[in-house]
Amino acid sequence: MPYDLLIKNGTVIDGTGAPRRHADIAVAGGKIVEIGEVDGSAKQVIDAADCIVAPGFIDPHTHYDAQICWDSALTPSPWHGVTSVVMGNCGVGIAPCRPAAHEIAMRDLVNVEAIPFDVLQRGITWNWETFPEYMAAAGRAQPAVNLGFLAPLTPFRHYVMGEASLDRAATPDETGQIAALLGEAVDNGALGFSSTLLNQHMGFGGKPLACRNASREEYQAYAGVLKARNKGAIEVALTRQIAVLEDDGYELLDLLLAHSGRPVTFIAMFDRDDISEAVRDTLRKAAPLIKRGARPQTSPLPLTREVNMRNPFSFAPFPSWNRVFADQSKSAQAAVYGDRAFRDTFREDLKRPVSFGNWARVRVHEVRSPELKRYEGQTIADIAAAQGKDPVDAFLDLTLADDLENEFVLSTFNHRVDRMKEILANPDIFIGLGDGGAHVDMLCDSGYPTYLLGTWVREHQVLSLEEGVRRLTSDPADFYGIKDRGRLQAGLAADITIFDPATVGSGNRPERRYDLPGGAKRMVMPSRGIRYTIVNGDSVFVEGALSGACPGQVIRA
């Protein structure tokens, strides 16, 4: 029979963890129809000799909620073999949203996900109000990859409660209304819901993101929405002290598991020298919850970010910085940076480190003023020592001297090979945290699938290739109840990634591009070794370039 696509001579890794085998794959009508020794003609034939043929990768943690409005390819994810993304994480999003609340939703994204306000104002189309309408609008955008949606709790609370959601828990009546809207979202295909407790997640006006005010009674009701339907999953940003659960974190996980009967993933399980033992202790204490379906989520990447002092997201965990986010005009921020009381309070915050361990991890990346160029490449610790200043003063004095236009590079987590081997080898750890679409002007972590395969599978041999592929495919598919993807099997959707195992990997560092709405800057990570990214039988990324095909679909639970 004639096929639409025939992939010949490849080494098939089917995503289940089973041993690799040589086989052909035939595709017709967007589905896999045969795997084995296949004869017959096809409209397109791909010779996959010397390559791995795997299921398309599924990224469980992205923030492409706004980007889908102006970039239907959702780059750079398809460059890295990703064929499906899950949006709406961390309890923040842009639906449901009444027209009068558009600015509030955008400011939430600015503060929590570090997406510039001008980009959002220019780029979001706002051709929806309810969550089902948003899902439909995203599907009409003709995406290159498949779209899965979590219902983010913040806009749901705001839709029912208005600005009161920024200050208090919901009443029983409001809780019922919010739960009904979540049920509507799940009934229309949402994969579950998301929330956050992280203290750095500040929303509109510098107040805690609305979902941070949800009571335990609310969470019990929202978890019950999933239990009543016996489908969906929950994602919650929970590790307030960066990879370390506090007592209320264990308690919330227990509540969500008990009242939903569904899997829960919590973030972030990162490692850093000064918290390694605390991370181990968290995993030990969470073991009973993990057995019940709680999955700690990590990134396989060493985390380094560029810090823009006009949008200093990295310092949001420190209470003293609430003033910086309350009024983000340049003049207001400059006044705060120069205020002695702010600096002294920040110094006190640093005695309880949350975001980074020491000033030797903070390096001057770029300054605008020619008189300050000599500081580029130096750490704040070195600059402070040379100037005889406290590092906080050296850091903020440099910022003011450059009219807040400077940028720093902050090295944070996941830099120790021995500890990352220990974390990634643990099959209970959920691999993700690509954060595609977020923090666009400071980092790009959405290339983590190719980094995992190149660095941790090929170079360090922490995982077998079969296990590495499983963790990127069937593992997230099973977690979210995506039954027709994540495996290479006859009858399933033809989401396929073809890569060279000898060269697959990410670039050495992100590249700057100025392709956001209004020409704003973003960081993107190039890929290596991905030959084809195939979505529903169509090649969307071929030998280093997008093809222009837009076969993505909305994934429904």
- What lies within 8 Å, CB to CB, of 554 at 6+ separation is 135, 136, 138, 139, 146, 147, 148, 149, 189
**451: pLDDT strictly greater than 80:** yes
Question: Could you report the per-residue pLDDT of 192-220, keeping only the tens digit for each?
Answer: 999 999 887 888 988 999 999 999 999 99
pLDDT of residue 307: 80
List Cβ neighbours of 173 (8 Å cut-off, separation of 6 or more): none
Cα(474)–Cα(275) distance, integer angstroms: 31
For residue 309, CA distances in Å to 89, 372, 520 come to 25, 16, 16
Token pair listed for 130: 């309810």
CA atoms 248, 557, 299, 526: torsion sign? negative
Decide: 545 and 551 in contact? Cβ < 8 Å.
no
> How much is the pLDDT for 232?
97
Give the per-residue pLDDT at 273: 67
Cβ count near 164 (within 10 Å):
16
- CB 514 within 8 Å of CB 107: no
Q: What does the radius of gyration of the chain's CA atoms come to, in whole angstroms?
A: 23
170 token code pair: 């919901």
Q: Which residue did the predictor score with more confidence, 260 or 422?
A: 260
Residue 355 has pLDDT above 80, yes or no: no
Average pLDDT, the chain: 93
Split at pLDDT 50, 70, 90, the class of 485 is very high
Q: 371-416: per-residue pLDDT in tens?
A: 999 999 899 999 999 999 999 999 999 999 999 999 888 777 777 7
Average pLDDT of 142-159?
98
pLDDT at 360 over 90: no
pLDDT of residue 205: 87
Mean pLDDT in residue range 503-507: 93
Residue 302 has a pLDDT of: 82
pLDDT for 16 beyond 60: yes
- Residue in 486, 487, 357 with CA at minimum distance from that of residue 60: 486
pLDDT for 241 equals: 54
What order of strands is seen across the sheet that includes strand 430-431? Answer: 151-152, 192-196, 233-237, 264-267, 294-298, 430-431
- For the chain, the farthest-separated pair of C-alpha atoms sits apart, in whole angstroms, at 78
**Across the strands, what pairs with 236?**
195, 266
Length of the chain: 557
Q: For the chain, list the domains and their CATH numbers.
A: 57-302+414-483 (3.20.20.140), 306-412 (no CATH)
> Could you tell me if 61 and 20 are in contact, meaning their C-beta atoms sit under 8 angstroms apart?
no
Strands 294-298 and 430-431: parallel
Q: What is the pLDDT of residue 95?
A: 98
CB 524 within 8 A of CB 510: yes
Q: Residue 544 corresponds to which amino acid?
A: G
Q: Say what percent of the chain tops pLDDT 70.
A: 97
98-149 tens-digit pLDDT: 999 999 999 999 989 989 999 999 999 999 999 999 999 999 999 999 999 9
CB atoms near residue 167 (< 10 Å): 11
Q: Residue 493's closest CA among 91, 28, 24, 144?
A: 28
28-46 pLDDT per residue, tens: 999 999 999 999 899 999 9
- In whole angstroms, give the CA distance from residue 153 to residue 89: 9
pLDDT category at 245 given cuts 50, 70, 90 is: confident
| 172's tokens | 């029983």
Q: What per-residue confidence (pLDDT) applies to 196?
A: 95
Overall average pLDDT of the 441-458 stretch: 93
- Mean pLDDT of all residues in 50-61: 98
pLDDT band at 462 (very low <50, low <70, confident <90, very high): very high
Contact yes or no for 473/487 (Cβ under 8 A):
yes
